[in-house]
Amino acid sequence: MRTKSFIMFFVLMSFHIYIYGQSEGMVRIKGSRYIPLYGRDSTVVEVRDFDLDMYPVTNKDYVDFVKKYPQWQKSKVKKIFADGSYLGNWANDTELKTSEKLNSAVTYVSWFAAKAYCECQGKRLPTMDEWEYAAMADETVKDARIKKSFNEEILAWYEAPRTNENEIGQHPKNYWGVYDLHGLVWEWTSDFNSVLLSGESRKDNNKDNNLFCGSAALGATDLMNYAAFMRYAFRGSIKANYSIKNLGFRCAKDIDNNQQP
């Protein structure tokens, strides 16, 4: 009887993994076609199914990371991979300053460091299209961008001081089950600087050095979506080795086709 029960448990767990194949702490984002703020050749972008961390990476997560991979500790990291502000709110290589919270999103982390963290977890940084696609959902619908209240809420957060010091999970999860895409910190994406392109295509090779000042608004598909425009502009103004006090990250993961239901 005990053997049969074990077999049944194993079958149920295997079925669960097959259907819900995402890693622990991640949620499945069902992809689709959508129009981003900046159109490409056809303006429509297709996002495939992917898994995304429910929460941003926390200070505690990153402490564990640098202990395991000391080359990313603040005194050991190569300057080409992180500027002088890297982990600027830490007391030393493995400890935060007393003012910081372990359950707050890690910040002062460069793109190189964020990328390395995700890869060491068997994951990756989300693409900009993946991040924007997941972030356009509110609590009830996949695409809340047409709601005036949704954009106003995000813009109000942009004006709020020191939100990076708040702990994760204080805002309601969105339609997909993801927390804190808005209202806490900005987040790195794998192709964060791909908006530094002129014209209607990100494939254009001519850089628009005035992007942060707003001249690239001419390429926007929806000039009313100021919240998204500010994100694109912010991304276009930074470099991969920058470490900024309100810039963190979360990880994504490709879906194994063998796990697709």
Laid out side by side, the sheet with 50-53 consists of 26-29, 50-53, 252-253
- Predicted TM-score (pTM) of the model is 0.81
Compute CA 93 distance to the chain's CA centroid, rounded to the nearest angstrom: 24
Which phi-psi region, left, alpha or beta, contains residue 162 (left: φ > 0; alpha: ψ -120 to 50)? left
pLDDT in tens, the chain (261 residues): 544 444 444 334 433 433 345 578 999 999 999 988 765 455 789 999 999 999 999 999 999 999 999 999 999 999 999 999 999 999 999 999 999 999 999 999 999 999 999 999 999 999 999 999 999 999 999 999 888 889 888 888 888 899 999 999 998 999 999 999 999 999 999 998 876 443 333 444 344 333 332 333 334 445 457 788 888 888 888 999 999 999 999 999 999 754 444
In the chain, the domains with their CATH numbers are: 26-259 (3.90.1580)
Terminal CA-CA length for the chain: 31
Strands 186-187 and 32-34: what pairing? unpaired
